[in-house]
Amino acid sequence: MSAALEATGLSKQYGRHWALRDCSFTLPAGRVAALVGPNGAGKTTLLHLAVGLLQPSRGSIRVLGSPAQDRPELLARVGFVAQDVPLYRDFTAAELLRLGTKLNARFDRALADDRFEQLGIPLDRPVGTLSGGQRAQVALALALAKRPELLLLDEPVASLDPLARREFLQALMAAVAETATTVMLSSHLIGDLERVCDYLLLLSAAHVQVAGDVEDLLAGHKLLVGPHRDPSRIPQGLTVVHASHTDRQTTLLVRTTGPILNPAWTVHDLTLEDLVLAYMSQPAAGALPGPIRPGPDTALHSEPTREVRA
Amino acid sequence: MIWLTWRQHRQQALAGALAFTLLGAFLVLTGREMASAYHGSGLAACLAAHHDCNDLTSAFEGRFSTLRALGGYLVILPGLVGLFWGAPLVAREVEHHTHRLVWTQSITRRRWITVKLALILAGTLLVTVPLAWLTSWWLGPLDHSTGTRFAPGIFDLQGVVPVAYTLFDDASGWLKRKVLRRRPGEDLGSVEEADAAARVA
C-alpha cells in the first residue's frame, strides 16, 4: 500500500519557535485519519506544509509520492479546506463553482451542483449570508469537485453546532466512501471524529505523540482497575501511559501486546476518546507503531513512559 | 483567473470608472470655458505676439483662480488609486484567509499574482493616461498665461508625471499591505505619506 502522506523529520520554525519539530509518520492511502492535538500543537502547520502553503524548515513531506510543492499537477490531486472555511463571502455558490472550473483543469461541476441541490443550498445568494453549516458544505463541495486523491480538512466542524457537525461529517463520509480518497481532518476534540476515522495522528507540542491504525491502537491499550497498589508493583511487560490512584483503587491505562491474566485486575476496553485524552494529559508519553524511523529526537518515545516491574 | 480578478475587483473598478468619468466631464466642461475665454479675450494672441499682457493675464487669472485652486487637488488622485486599487489586491485575501482557498486550487501562486498585477496595472493605465492628457490640456491656458508649466504642484499634474505617480502609489499601497502587514485603516495615511515623500524627493 502506498503512502498518501509521508513525513520525515518534518520541522517548521517561526523565529525561535518550533511549530513542528522532527515529525515522522506515514499515512497509508485510503485511510480516514484524525489529526488531533491541543490548540497550538502544530496541526494547522502540518496541513499547510502538506498542501504546499508552507515550506518545511527542515525535513520533508511527500504527498501522494512526490514532494509537497506549489505545482499545478500536485495541487490538482489534493483537496483542501482551510480553517474557518475561507470563501469569498460576496461570491454566490454558483460563482464559487465558476472559480473552481476556471482554476482547476479537472473540476466536477456536476458533482458540486448535485450536492448543493441535495443539501438545499441556494446557488444565487452570497455565501456570506448562508449559515455556518451551509458554508462548510460549500467549501467541502468545492474541494470534493476536484476529485482529489487526498482531502485535507483543517478543523472543518469547529465552528458548527452539533447537528451541523453531524451532517457535515455524514456528507464527508458518504462522499469519500464512493471513492478511494484518503482523508485527514484535524480537530482539537476527538469526539467529533471518533466515529469516522480509522487512523489517528496525535500531535502534542510540535511532536508526533501517537500515530497508528485506530483498531490496533485500541487493541493495544487497556484500562486496568484493581485494588490500590504501590506504583512499583505493576504487572510486568506493560507500559503505563497514565496511572491514577485513590486510597482503595488503582486505575492504569496501559499499552500491552498480550492478554492481561492477573485476576486482580478488571480489564476494560478503551474508546478512542479515552486513549487520546490519556495521551494528551501525558505529553511525555508516546506510541508510535508502524513503519516509523525514529529521528534524532528519540528521547520522546523512550524516556518518560515508565516500564515498571512487578 | 482573469474572470476571478474581474469578479473580485469589479466594484472598485466600476466605482473608479464612474469617479473618473465624472471628473473627466468636469474637466472637459470647465476646460472648454477656459479655452474659449483664453482665446476670446485676446490673451492667446497677445502672448503669442510677446506683448506685455499683464491686464489680460490678471483678468484671466482672476476669473479662473477658483478652478486653478481646485486643480491643485488633483494631486491626491494617484494616492487614491493606490489606496483603493493597489492596497487591497493581496492584503484583502490575506485578511480574510482566502489566499488559502485560491492558492490550493490547481494554479501556481506565481500565475495568480502575475494575472492580478497585470490587470490592475492595465486598469490603472487605462484611466490615468487619458486623465493625465485631459488635465494637461485643461491646464494649458493657465500655464501659458503665467508660464508656470514646471512649477512644483503644477508639473505634477501634467503629462506622464501623474501616470508615474499613480503606478508608484499603486505599488506602494500593495507593498505596504503585503510586506508591512498594515491594517486597512492605516493605508490612507501611509499611501499618501509615501506619495508625499516621493514628491519631495
Q: pLDDT by residue for chain B (201 residues), tens digit each?
A: 889 998 988 888 888 889 888 988 888 888 888 887 777 777 777 777 776 777 777 777 777 777 777 777 777 777 777 777 777 777 788 888 999 999 999 998 889 989 988 888 888 888 877 887 888 788 777 766 665 555 555 555 555 566 666 666 666 666 665 555 544 445 555 665 666 666 655
Q: Which of A141-155, A196-210, B154-168 has the lowest mean pLDDT?
A: B154-168
Interface list for chain A against chain B, based on CB atoms closer than 8 Å: 48, 51-53, 70-72, 75-76, 78, 80, 82-84, 86-89, 91, 95, 98-100, 102-106, 139, 142, 146
Q: Which of A34-48, A258-272, A290-304, B132-146 has the lowest mean pLDDT?
A: A290-304
- Structural domains of chain A sorted by starting position, each given as residue range(s) with its CATH number in brackets: 3-214 (3.40.50.300), 220-307 (no CATH)
- Overall average pLDDT of the A274-289 stretch: 83
How many Å lie between the alpha carbon of B114 and the closest alpha carbon of chain A?
A: 14
This complex has an ipTM of 0.82
Residue to test with chain A: of B95, B99, B103, B105, most A Cβ within 10 A: B105
Chain A hits for B107, Cβ within 8 Å:
72, 75, 103
- pLDDT of the residue at A294: 41
Q: What is the tens place of the pLDDT at every residue in A73-126? A: 899 999 999 999 999 999 999 999 999 999 999 999 999 999 999 989 999 999
Report the 3 state secondary structure along chain B.
Answer: CHHHHHHHHHHHHHHHHHHHHHHHHHHHHHHHHHHHHHHHCCHHHHHHCCCCCHHHHHHHHHHHHHHHHHHHHHHHHHHHHHHHHHCHHHHHHHHCCCHHHHCCCCCCHHHHHHHHHHHHHHHHHHHHHHHHHHHHHHHHHHHHHHCCCCCCCCHHHCCCHHHHHHHHHHHHHHHHHHHCCCCHHHHHHHHHHHHHHHHHC
Chain A hits for B7, Cβ within 8 Å:
91, 95, 99
Chain B hits for A52, Cβ within 8 Å:
104
When the pLDDT of each residue in chain A is averaged and rounded to a whole number, the result is: 86
- pLDDT of the residue at A303: 36
- pLDDT of the residue at A302: 37
The model's pTM is 0.80
